[in-house]
Amino acid sequence: MSKRKGSIGERQLINLFWAAGWAAIRSAGSGSTSFPSPDLLVGNKSRVLAIEAKVTKEKKKYFPKEEVKQLINFSKYFGAENWFAIKFHRVDWIFFSPEDLIEKENSFVASLELSEIKGVSFSDLIQSY
């Protein structure tokens, strides 16, 4: 995924959250510092979410173990829920908790197939938790 597509995807998520009555910001330079920093921070009066957002044309998205660890650590210190948001080609945004990703030797993976079992839609994410 190009940086441009990733930025467009992050902005799309920002718009979705604001339209749903949640505050949302992008973290400039996330992933480019030595400190953990998610792509997005979103919240309402009762919840705060730290989100890593990815856009892919593939049916699977791999996450380096370090990236997953950093999101979990940031969320722990910040007091936020941690989520991975994935925009698969021609599919609405799907959200995964790190615990629901499949662990491989050097990475974690989410797939379209897994999204049917463990994935959370945007509307379910903002309403039912």
From the list 2, 7, 27, 30, the catalytic residue is 30
pLDDT in tens, 15-41: 999 999 999 999 865 555 677 889 999
30 is a catalytic site residue:
yes
- pLDDT for the residue 94: 98
Report residues of the chain scoring pLDDT below 50. Answer: 1
Rounded distance, CA 25 to CA 52, Å?
A: 12
CATH class of 3-127: alpha beta
Q: Dihedral of CA 89/21/4/39: which sign? A: negative
Rounded distance, CA 34 to CA 2, Å?
A: 22
